Amino acid sequence: MEHSRIPEKQGISTIHRAARLSVAPMMDWTDRHCRYVHRLLSGQALLYTEMVTAPALVRGGALHLLSYSPEEHPVALQLGGSDPEELALAARFGAEAGYDEINLNCGCPSDRVQSGTFGAVLMKDPIRVAECVTAMAEAVDVEVTVKCRIGVDEQHPEEILPGFLDHIRTAGCHRVTIHARKAWLQGLSPKENRDIPPLDYDLVHGMKAAFPDLHISLNGGITSLDQVRAHLDAGLDGVMIGRAAYHQPTDILAEADPLIFGTGKVADPIEVVQKMVPYVERHLVEGGRLHQITRHMLGLFAGRPGARAWRRALSEGAVHDGAGPEVMLQALERVAPLAEV
Ligand SMILES: Cc1cc2nc3c(=O)[nH]c(=O)nc-3n(C[C@H](O)[C@H](O)[C@H](O)COP(=O)(O)O)c2cc1C
């Protein structure tokens, strides 16, 4: 197999380390407020944006979609698209905005995305994906990565995935995240496509054995740091977590720094709430609403005493006109005394 030269890219060793544990790109969920909360829970994990489409940036001029807080680093921008020139330009916008990595979405099965030939349907066209990666990698100094499925529709993953990985590696992608299940482009909703096609972790481990020079992260169905550790110990380079990181952020991220990265201390969700106060105040001054931030904090105490009272106080209080950080602090009073018992 032909190997491409690993290009000199900015900050590769730092971000490869951060990618030992990453929080998945999730539309409408991993916006900048969500990432800020996650960053307070883990100083080390790699955070991904929601997918931003290249046409929205390039044709729509929607550069506000690239806004983020400097505290979010290391943070990766995920792009959707299939036109190499457009993706190259969008990648450049992302790099100029300071993102640490530009990721190409080859895994999203939604109808809207299929119609624009983005996302998982690209698993059928590795040559096109390689052209996109080449154009993006030439346009930016930061690393260009891919997030993909193991296959789509009638494809046989064990047959097509090695060829797909070989194409993108030759094109200049040296880090890939593999959602370890197929996507069915017809007949299943995007939500069903995250649950119904069976997970094949062995295949992803097999890809690491076949491509030892590729940095490979596994994604799909991971719900604990113990599972993360097991996959890392078995030879994978990284694990990406989506839904569990969103719904139980403290379980996944609070112990990540000491347990996965060997540095730092366990984060306390009560302190995270307190640290959110100045962030919320800034957001309100800029005309934002409390709920836009606190909707991502509902799971902070999941599985802990007071979790239900916290969720309720926060979700009910945050939607009122003029609601401010005091809503968060009052909700915290329902949790804090219990947590100290
Ligand atoms: C609400 C939601 C939105 C998502 N949006 C994206 C997206 O924008 N880009 C993407 O590559 N994957 C997206 N995904 C898929 C996740 O990144 C991830 O691959 C999937 O949820 C499987 O991981 P998990 O089992 O850890 O959740 C989304 C998932 C959810 C639940």
pLDDT tens, N- to C-terminus, the chain (341 residues): 344 444 467 777 889 999 999 999 999 999 999 999 999 999 999 999 999 999 999 999 999 999 999 999 999 999 999 999 999 999 999 999 999 999 999 999 876 655 568 899 999 999 999 999 999 999 999 999 999 999 999 999 999 999 999 999 999 999 999 999 999 998 899 999 999 999 999 999 999 999 999 999 999 999 999 999 999 999 999 999 999 999 999 999 999 999 999 999 999 999 999 999 999 999 999 999 999 999 999 999 999 999 999 999 999 999 999 999 999 999 999 886 555 54
Cα 206 to ligand 1 centre (Å) = 23
Nearest to 104 by CA among 115, 93, 116, 88: 88
**Residue 305 CA from chain centroid, whole number:** 28
Same domain, 75 and 119: yes
End residue of a domain, out of 261, 284, 319: 261
Domain count, the chain: 2
Q: Residue 106 catalytic?
A: no
Q: Is 169 in the pocket of ligand 1 (CB under 6 A)?
A: no
Q: Specify if 191 maps to a domain.
A: yes
Q: Specify if 1 maps to a domain.
A: no
Range of the domain at 163: 12-261
Same domain, 100 and 73: yes
Q: Specify if 2 maps to a domain.
A: no
Q: Is 194 in the pocket of ligand 1 (CB under 6 A)?
A: yes
Same domain, 231 and 330: no
Handedness of CA 172, 177, 183, 188 (dihedral sign): negative
Same domain, 114 and 145: yes
Q: Which residue's C-alpha comes closest to atom 1 of ligand 1?
A: 26
